[in-house]
A and B are shown apart, each in its own frame.
Chain A
Amino acid sequence: AQSVTQLDSQVPVFEEAPVELRCNYSSSVSVYLFWYVQYPNQGLQLLLKYLSGSTLVKGINGFEAEFNKSQTSFHLRKPSVHISDTAEYFCAVIFRSGNTPLVFGKGTRLSVIA
Chain B
Amino acid sequence: GAVVSQHPSWVICKSGTSVKIECRSLDFQATTMFWYRQFPKQSLMLMATSNEGSKATYEQGVEKDKFLINHASLTLSTLTVTSAHPEDSSFYICSARSGTSGGSYNEQFFGPGTRLTVL
Q: Identify the A interface with B (CB < 8 A).
A: 32, 36, 41-44, 46, 51, 90, 94, 96, 98-107, 109
Contacts and interface: CB of A to CB of B under 8 A. Distances in A.
The 9 closest A-B pairs by CB, nearest first: A43-B112, A99-B101, A106-B43, A44-B110, A43-B113, A101-B34, A104-B44, A104-B43, A107-B43
A52 to B, nearest CB: 9
Contact of B113 (A42, A100, A105, A106): A42
A90 B43 contact: yes
Given A44-B44, A51-B105, A99-B32, 19 more contacts: A36-B110, A41-B115, A42-B112, A42-B113, A43-B112, A44-B93, A90-B44, A94-B105, A94-B108, A96-B103, A99-B49, A99-B51, A99-B97, A101-B32, A103-B46, A104-B43, A104-B45, A106-B42, A106-B43
Q: Name the interface size band of chain B.
A: 20 to 34
Contact of B100 (A44, A99, A101, A103): A99
A101 B46 contact: yes
Given A41-B115, A43-B113, A96-B103, A102 B43 contact: no
Interface of B: 1, 32, 34, 41-46, 49, 51, 93, 95, 97, 100-101, 103, 105, 108, 110-113, 115
Contacts of B105: 32, 51, 94
A101 B44 CA distance: 12
A49 B45 CA distance: 20
B29 to A, nearest CB: 15
